[in-house]
Structures are given as C-alpha cells and as structure tokens.
Amino acid sequence: MSVFLASAIAFSLAAHALAQDASERLVEVSSIGKSRSGRTLQLLRLAHPEPDSLGRTPDQRPALLIVAGLDARHEIGPRVARSLVDRLVTNHADLLRDRTVYIIPDLNPDNAAFFARAGAPKSDFGRTIVEYDADRDARVNEDPAEDLNADGLITMMRVKHPPPATGLTADLIPDPDDPRIMRKPDPAKGEAPTHALLIEGLDNDGDGRFNEDGPHGSAGGGVDLNMNFPALWPEHADGAGPYSLSEPESLALVRWMLTRDNIVCVLVFGPHDNLLNIPEAGRNAPDGREPLGIESDDKPYYEEIARLFKDTTGMTGAPKGPDAAGSFHQWAYAHFAVHAFTTPVWVRPDLVKAKEAEKPADADADAEKPADADQPDESPADAIRREFQAAGAPQFIIDFMVATPEERAELMAQAQDRTPEEQRERMAAVMALPEELRAKVMAVAQGQQVQPSAPPRAGGRQQGARPAQGAQGAASRARESDDAKWLKYSDEQRNREGFADWQPFDHPQLGPVEIGGFVPGFRANPPESEWTRLADEQTAFAAALLGKLPDLAVELHAVERLSTGLWRITVRGVNTRYFPTASAIARKARRLPPIVLDLRVEQDAVVAGQRITRWDNIDGSGGAAYAEWTVAAPDGSAITLDIRSAALGNRTLTITLTEDQR
C-alpha cells in the first residue's frame, strides 16, 4: 500500500471522527456520487453548521471549492487537500462562520486503488480505469505497457536505428552533454536522428503498435478527467473520452456543482498552473463567445491573486501544464462562470524564492561574494524575460521572446486568427516598448537570434552570451532544457532517485533496446520532507482566498417624508470583500440571475422607481450600489424588502416609515 493511500484511509477515518465532534461539528462528510467502479467520491464541507448573522445556512454562504485528484499521477494534490481540513478548522474557524469551504480530495479513486494492488508497477498513468478499445479491434485493454525488466517501474525504451519492420521511426538523439536526455536533433549542426522512444512494453496483440490499448501509462486506454469537461472539449484527442462528461466522476462533479450556486471561487490542485502563468485575456473561440483564456476585465483580479500566491508560497515559476482544453478549471471559469485557479502545489526548488528566515546564520560572512554567486545559473531566455519584465512588457510579448522556434511559429499562426482590433492593440503594445526592445521583437519575428542586453546571471561562473555552437552550445542547451534541470535536481538534491539509468535489454520483438527514464511521479510529487511546508502554504493561501470572496451588506440609507403618506426610500448595497459580486465572465455567461431587490408593496403604491430592482454587479473592496423608490404608504407603516442572491444568499430588510431616517 502506498504512503499516499495509507494517508488517505487514515484521514478518512479522522474526518469522520471530526464530523461527529458535537462541540464543533465544523466538518460534514458526504459524497457527490460514485466512481465507475462504485467507489465514493468524497465531499468534505467545512462550515459552522448554525445559521450565520444573516440567517444563511452553510450551503447558502459564499463558498470556495477545492478539487484534487483529477490526474492521479499528482499524488500531492489529494494529500494537501486532505491536510487543509484540520488546518482550516483549527486555525481559521472564524472564516467559516459566514463562508463555506467544499473539498473534493480525490476525483479519481479508482486509479489509486488500481495501482495500490500488490505487485502493481508504478507508472505515469493518471487517467480513469475504464475498458477501452483504442485500436478498434473489438478487444479491450489487451495491449498495456509492461514492466519488462522487473524493476517495479514502467519507464521508457529507446531503440537505436529501429528497423523499418518495427514501424518505429528514429526522431531523437541522446544529448551529447548528458546522454540520459533524449532530444530532437539539430539538422543545421549536422545532427541526424538515431533513436526511437516509446513506453516500456510489448506488442501483445501483434498489430505492430506498442502499448496502445490498456493502462500503465500507455498511449491509449482510460480517460483523462482534465480533458473530459465541456469547455473547449478536444473532441478527437486521445484521453478526451467519447464525449464530454462521459465519465461518472466528471459528470457527478458537474451535477453537484450545479446545485451549489453559492460556489463563487474554485481552486484546483493538479498539473496545470494559471497562477504563475496567467491565462491570456480577451481572446475567444471562433464562435466569439467562449473565452480561450480569461476575460480582460477579470485579468486584474488574476494578477492580484497571483501576487498573493507568490508571496504566500515563494514560487517564482511553474510549468503551464497540459493544454487547458476540456479541463475542469477551464469549465469552472468559462461555463460555471466563477474565478477558477489551479496550481501544481509543488515545483522544483530552483523555482522557489528562498525565504529570509531560511538563510544560514553565517550568511553575513559571505557578504563579499558577488550578488549572484549563490544563485542558480540564469539562461539567456531567463535574462531576456527579466529584461522585458523590467520594461513592463505585456506577457504575450515576453512569451513570444522566450519561446522556442516551434512555439514561436505556433504563436504567429495563432495571431492570424485574432480580430483586426486585437492585432492593432498588440502592435501598439510593441510600439510602446523602448526602442532597443522593440528592435529585438522585430528581429525575432524575422527569425533572427538576439541576446539579452545584460549577460545572464550565473552562480560564480563566467558570465557572457550563450555560445552559438560547439560543445559549449550543447552544454548550454542541456542546462536550459527542463529535463536537464530535473536531472540536476535529482542528482544533487534527491540522491539520484528521480531517474532510472538506461540499461540494456533484449526485447523479444525489437531486439537490443535500453530501458530507463524518469521515475514515474518524480516530477509531479515532492519528497515527504516537503509535505508539511506545502500543506501550511496552501492553507494560508486558501484562507486568504476565502477572505476575499464577495459578500453583500444591504442597509437602509435614507427614509425621507415628502408629504403625508408619501415617502422616498433609499437603500445601499455594499460589497465588503475583495472580489466583485459577479466576475466579468459571470456577467457575460449570465448563468445566475443578478441580485434582486423586491419591495413588497402593491405596484400602484410605487410612485417612482421600479418595484423590482436589479444589481448586476457590485465591485469589491467597498463598492456600493443604490436603489431608490418613492412610495405611497401610511406614516409609521412597515415595508419589507426582499433581497435575493443565488450566490450570496437571501435576506430581508424591514423599513419603517418614520420621519427622516438617514
């Protein structure tokens, strides 16, 4: 049994015990449904159970939803999600009096159970466990990946000069700087492909394809839950499923969420990141309606939450992760219409800023060292990023400047799909850059290479521009590649546990091959020594996010007697928290009705104003909206005002018509 699964079982028992605690009763354990194999999809609700000061029950208060386990490879997500429960209840119980937290710690329990079986090898397979006929031969799961060398891992096979009869094509070479790394050859430097790379296993069904039909990290089989949601669903992509919401797990989540209009923010623990890689704003799908990223008016809020996240966790960067098409967080934003944030929770240490308190006691003794002496090497791409960030360049320009040639070509192709207005706006942003940076953008757009104005920072090494060719160029490329950075981390900080060295193996169908590669899960999950720190950081961030959820206070602003039996009534609504009562995407999608104020009098009694008034949105941080009526009613009578908000709860205000209340 894995450590993560044992922790999950122990936590489940503890959560049930906590839910029975009559003195607090802050945690309610229930379910949103069942997995394909009938396992419970656990739901934890954190809230004071008694009505709050406005009479709202836990399911009527503004709520934060936290979801983990969509990709089962990301074991740290469920671990931290479960750890948040005790920390929030113990340290932030005050926030739970007028707000609610829902936690779904593991949306894919079948996968965890599948790989917890005795003797099951570890593999990079995070999808649902579902029978699937990937090769359309009327047989299911008959060609999975296999642990051929019996090391308990399903890694990769590299085949040198594969014969044509194998159906494999050589398209990679071992990197000369570190032969463990496989990369694309550079024809301009006379490099020719030598190896094919595929998942460890056999062609069990003899159809000439390897590992295409079954679990264990194979190319086919199972459904990726983070590709199965309706937003931009990638219809023909492997892993997307036969149709959106085809999986019991994704369908159960959506159905349950549609019964919880009080959810106003979503936080996902998974392989995607949109906190350090803020989505592009203002671009829509071809139909002009669904956003490809986020709405422009929501971007400032994402930027502020990103700043809060960086300050809380110290993270300075994170992989963007897979394409967001069909992902849960994209659906939560574009269709459910709430702010939705996602984070991998943990990144390599070189992407985390060291905290002051963690400096060694003798740090002052090193004051004579150059400022960058103890910093990791900075690549030319990082130096260019720093240079453009310092000039205040928009993110789309920075992404363009640091992209690979292939990525840059894709970005330029995407630019053709933008409207003329969007293209003019982007060109204006380029022209607003300092002349030197503007010239660099133009040069890169024409296929030229540019260097940062200042040399990249290096940790005690000779600084200078990137060599253009030769062994130094290869070494620089290897240092810059993500694989190389992971290998360095494995070698220097994890006792080389992250990579299984290539070992020769006599494959019964391919002949001599080598088996090895990154250990499954290594790049997604931290060592156990990091768990407590990560749980503390994510608790602090979740609590801060919870404190920013919108809320509405409606108060009587003025009651004025205009004449006998004629009154002017003014009420004011104030959003006492940070987020607006309706995000830009919520106003666009109109999934929920606006805030409704219903003055409970006969229509004929309303002399001026609308008896039913609507507030579409109230900005956060003290933003206010007003409603005013002139009514004919006896002096001293009482009028009831009903305030209805699907997201923020309903309440009533009793207005007594007495002389000049202000």
DSSP state of 227: G
By three-state DSSP, how is residue 637 classified?
coil
Report how far apart, in Å, the C-alpha atoms of 208 and of each of 141, 170, 212, 326, 662 are: 16, 16, 10, 31, 82
**C-alpha R_g of the chain:** 29
Tens digit of pLDDT for each residue in 210-257? 776 666 544 457 899 999 999 999 998 888 999 999 999 999 999 999
DSSP state of 461: S
Which of 554, 393, 344, 379 has its CA nearest to residue 473?
379
Dist. CA 339–CA 326, nearest whole Å: 17
Question: What is the predicted pLDDT for the residue at 660?
Answer: 67
Q: Are residues 542 and 585 in the same domain?
A: no
Domain final residue, candidates 549, 564, 586 = 549
Maximum separation of any 2 CA atoms in the chain, in Å: 101
Dist. CA 512–CA 149, nearest whole Å: 13
In a domain, 188, yes or no: no
pLDDT higher than 90, residue 357? no
Check if the beta carbon of residue 76 is closer than 8 Å to that of residue 346: yes
Q: How confident is the model at residue 22 (pLDDT cuts 50, 70, 90)?
A: very low
Check if the beta carbon of residue 143 is closer than 8 Å to that of residue 204: yes
Which of 406, 477, 414, 401 has its CA nearest to residue 444?
401
In a domain, 378, yes or no: no
The first and second tokens of residue 106, run together, are 């593991």
Task: Work out the average pLDDT over 198-219.
Answer: 71
Give residue for tokens 């836990």.
58
CB hemisphere CA count around 359 (13 angstroms): 12
Check if the beta carbon of residue 33 is closer than 8 Å to that of residue 41: yes
Handedness of CA 315, 483, 293, 549 (dihedral sign): negative
Report how far apart, in Å, the C-alpha atoms of 416 and of each of 400, 419, 422, 530, 572 are: 15, 8, 10, 45, 47
pLDDT higher than 50, residue 394? yes
Q: Are residues 543 and 560 in the same domain?
A: no
Pairing of strands 195-199, 595-599: unpaired
Give residue for tokens 């994510």.
538
Question: What is the predicted pLDDT for the residue at 375?
Answer: 47
Non-local (6+) Cβ contacts of 303 within 8 A are 278
Q: Are residues 29 and 113 in the same domain?
A: yes
Which of 578, 560, 571, 621 has its CA nearest to residue 596?
571
The first and second tokens of residue 524, run together, are 């997604």
Number of domains within the chain:
2
Tens digit of pLDDT for each residue in 81-90? 999 999 999 9
What is the distance, to the nearest Å, from the Cα of residue 477 to the centroid of all Cα atoms in its chain? 29
Question: What is the predicted pLDDT for the residue at 480?
Answer: 73
Range of 651's domain? 552-656
Dist. CA 330–CA 476, nearest whole Å: 36
Dist. CA 236–CA 234, nearest whole Å: 6
Q: Give all strands (DSSP E) within 367-442, no chain letters.
A: none
What is the distance, to the nearest Å, from the Cα of residue 326 to the centroid of all Cα atoms in its chain? 13
Task: Work out the average pLDDT over 308-337.
Answer: 95
Dist. CA 143–CA 132, nearest whole Å: 11
Q: Are residues 286 and 274 in the same domain?
A: yes
Tens digit of pLDDT for each residue in 463-481? 333 333 444 444 444 457 8
Question: What is the predicted pLDDT for the residue at 288?
Answer: 79
What secondary structure, in 3-state letters, does 156-220 show?
EEEEECCCHHHCCCCCEEEECCEEEEEECCCHHHCCCCCEEEEECCCCCCCCCCCCCECCCCCCC
pLDDT higher than 90, residue 422? no
Task: Work out the average pLDDT over 309-317.
Answer: 96
pLDDT higher than 90, residue 626? yes
Question: What is the predicted pLDDT for the residue at 15?
Answer: 46
What is the distance, to the nearest Å, from the Cα of residue 514 to the centroid of all Cα atoms in its chain? 35
More confident residue, 432 or 98: 98
Tens digit of pLDDT for each residue in 477-503? 445 789 999 999 999 999 999 999 999
pTM over 0.85: no
Dist. CA 47–CA 40, nearest whole Å: 22
Which of 120, 116, 103, 115 has its CA nearest to residue 12?
103
Window from 261-270, 474-483, 509-518 with minimum mean pLDDT: 474-483
Question: What is the predicted pLDDT for the residue at 390?
Answer: 73
Q: Are residues 304 and 241 in the same domain?
A: yes
Q: Are residues 529 and 589 in the same domain?
A: no
State the CATH number of the domain containing residue 307. Answer: 3.40.630.10
Q: Are residues 596 and 529 in the same domain?
A: no
Check if the beta carbon of residue 326 is closer than 8 Å to that of residue 240: yes
- In the beta sheet, which residues pair with residue 352? 315
Q: Are residues 532 and 593 in the same domain?
A: no
In a domain, 291, yes or no: yes
If one counts every other C-beta atom within 10 angstroms of the C-beta of residue 283, the result is 18
Check if the beta carbon of residue 620 is closer than 8 Å to that of residue 586: no
State the CATH number of the domain containing residue 589. Answer: 2.60.40.10
In a domain, 437, yes or no: no
Q: Are residues 63 and 12 in the same domain?
A: yes
Window from 58-72, 350-364, 631-645 with minimum mean pLDDT: 350-364
Q: Are residues 647 and 613 in the same domain?
A: yes
The first and second tokens of residue 254, run together, are 């959506």
For the chain, give the number of residues.
Answer: 662
Give residue for tokens 């009505």.
51
Q: Give all strands (DSSP E) within 299-456, no chain letters.
A: 339-343
Q: Are residues 3 and 124 in the same domain?
A: yes
In a domain, 487, yes or no: no
Give residue for tokens 């900075």.
378
In a domain, 8, yes or no: yes
* H-helix or E-strand spanning residue 27: strand 27-34
In a domain, 180, yes or no: no
Q: Are residues 532 and 606 in the same domain?
A: no
Task: Work out the average pLDDT over 432-438.
Answer: 78
In a domain, 252, yes or no: yes
